Structure 1
Amino acid sequence: MPKLSIIIPCYYNEDNIPVTVRELVANEANFPPEVSFEYVFVNDGSGDDTLGALQRARTLYPDRICIVDLAGNVGSYNAIVAGMAQATGDCMAIITADMQDPPALMVQMYAYWQQGFKLIIGNRQDREETGLQQLFARAFHVLMKKIALPNIPDGGFDFVFFDRQVAEHIITLQERNSNLFYLMVWLGYPYVNIPYVRRKREIGKSRWTLKKKAKLFIDSILAFSFFPIRAISVMGLVLGLAAFGYGLYIIGLHLFGSQKPEGWSALMVVLLFVSAFQMTALGVIGEYVWRGLDAARQRPLYVVKEVYV
């Protein structure tokens, strides 16, 4: 009997939990009868009564629901790794607690897993959200596809179905300041891509702030691409050639020109431009150095306060 472990990271999802559990359990009827289920809810240091809502849900389904209560907020990706470490299924799926991703899609994902695929991705072909949120998401994934991982699907994704072998790789890597879903693609397993339309959030308020999005953007680029370092090298070379050319121009004016260059304004512009470039370059290099330091300290990705099984 194959066992499916569904990992659900939770952060301020008190009102979502009853609906989420109801939809997930109802979706079991769409699977073949031999499949057994395990729901691993990870409370990522929520400040509301998310843990209480999970405990109430567990009283209804004590044989299926496992709760991993983390000591503090470590971010959804680290919380998912904590769920992977606790899950016991032959295959696993990750879905958000706000039910913006359709649980019914997991039935099709499971069918592909039975055919031998280790990774099945549900990518957002479109989304019901509008405005800056949609624009930011599209720009982020287009840029990542261009400069970091050309084999990722269009539209972005955080709804995946994968084999236990993939989970073991992710747990072993203990990757910090990275993008968990891109890391799954980076492993190199052939994957199936299933497009779908992401639903609009109906309950609660998203905690996915602009600050968190910016951090994910920086983490994703630095974790999978050397583009920022190479861009600094290219820019330094361009500035060096420009400086050499401008130096020849000044020497020519002194030797052959009748008008001497005054130079103060041009010198200040060049000085300010080069200084700004140097500070930016130091900032980019510092990001890489800090990530190396964070990995060298080998602090745990998460601290488990208690597990309810």
Structure 2
Amino acid sequence: MLLSIVAPCYNEEDVLERFHAEVQKVAEELLPLGHDVEFVYVDDGSRDRTLAVLERLAGQDPRVRYVSFSRNFGKEAALLAGLRHASGDSVVVMDADLQHPPELIKRMVDLRAQGYDQVIARRTRTGDRMTRTLTARLYYRLVNRLVDVELVDGVGDFRLLSRRVVDAVLNLTESNRFSKGLFAWVGFPGTTFEYTNALRAHGRSSWSMRGLLNYGLDGLLSFNNRPLRAALYLGMGLLAIAGLYTAWIMGAALINGVQTPGYVTIITAVTGVAGVQMIMLGVIGEYTGRIYYEVKGRPHFLVKATNTEPAKDLVP
């Protein structure tokens, strides 16, 4: 049985060799159990010497396969490239910054042997700031009321996938990819276990608050059209309110005579409705923009350097 370890990398030159040493130890432990291991690294257009480190690792270890992008295309593109180039019977997806403990791979392999197609590591929020924990919980509670798949708080990309799950994900050719949702959408039997997230071995996370917000919006919009339905319901509600308000004004005029409505009420109504219209226009624009990118059919990434070929060239 061949196990592929897929690790996207972005500016990880300071930790990459240490990470590879750790996963090599895991590979040595799995060898007596009948598992060969290959390492698939994807350099997502790093600005440091990440590619040079990967080339050196490939020269030292023939099991190392790497792909380097022409620029930074984002983690979703890097995950897709890693899955395309992984030829294993099972694939482990993890970060290269050592926040995903490599020693958990053996536990994943043991659970895979029990017949699970997805073995998912769910991190606890031990040590997180209270504000971040509360924000995440509120986000997942909101999203799971709207999207067509279940997204679990603490579940990320760190997981083991069987070959049929990998093939199913690769056959989804959409441009606007949200892997966490795609993994949930394809289904197949899975299990989850918890672990405590480790600190980054070096540097700081490249995720900014704006990036996290955009990622959250991707999750909200990628698997449902309910915001558009909400716009319809909201419009109908505002129309009903306007009708009731008109009836009230007419009734008051018939009973008390014609009076000039309050200036504050009119301004509040106009500005409030205008704000709602702009929000709904933005929602429609988001969906239209996604259609625009899908129709263009551009590749998800461009490769600058590699020492391997795709295991399965299922999509352009």
TM-score, normalized by length of structure 1? 0.93
Equivalence map 1:1-309=2 (5 Å): 2-31=1-30, 33=32, 34-61=34-61, 63-130=62-129, 132-149=131-148, 151-258=150-257, 260-309=259-308
State how far apart, in whole Å, the 2-side matches of 1:24 and 1:208 are: 24
Identify if the C-alpha distance between structure 1 residues 265 and 137 changes in structure 2 by more than 3 Å, giving closer, same or farther: closer
The alpha-carbon deviation at position 56 of structure 1 amounts to: 2.0
The alpha-carbon deviation at position 38 of structure 1 amounts to: 0.6
Cα deviation per residue 1:252-300 (whole Å; 9 max; x = unaligned)?
1111114613333322211111111111111100100110111111111
Contact 1:141 1:155 in 2 (8 A): no
Structure 1 counterpart of 2:159, one-letter code = V
Indicate the SS of the match to 2:306.
Answer: strand
Q: Structure 1: where are the runs of 5+ without partners?
A: none
The alpha-carbon deviation at position 131 of structure 1 amounts to: 5.2
The alpha-carbon deviation at position 3 of structure 1 amounts to: 0.3
Contact 1:124 1:195 in 2 (8 A): yes
Q: Structure 2: where are the runs of 5+ without partners?
A: 309-316
Contact 2:231 2:280 in 1 (8 A): yes
Which has the higher mean CA deviation after the structures are superposed, 241-250 or 261-270? 261-270
Cα deviation per residue 1:149-179 (whole Å; 9 max; x = unaligned)?
5634342322110011111122221232231
Identify if the C-alpha distance between structure 1 residues 214 and 151 changes in structure 2 by more than 3 Å, giving closer, same or farther: closer
Identify if the C-alpha distance between structure 1 residues 127 and 80 changes in structure 2 by more than 3 Å, giving closer, same or farther: farther
Structure 2 counterpart of 1:305, one-letter code = K
Indicate the SS of the match to 1:151.
Answer: coil
Q: How many matched pairs?
A: 307
State how far apart, in whole Å, the 1-side matches of 2:163 and 2:143 are: 27
Which has the higher mean CA deviation after the structures are superposed, 246-255 or 114-123? 114-123
Which has the higher mean CA deviation after the structures are superposed, 73-82 or 144-153? 144-153
Indicate the SS of the match to 2:84.
Answer: helix
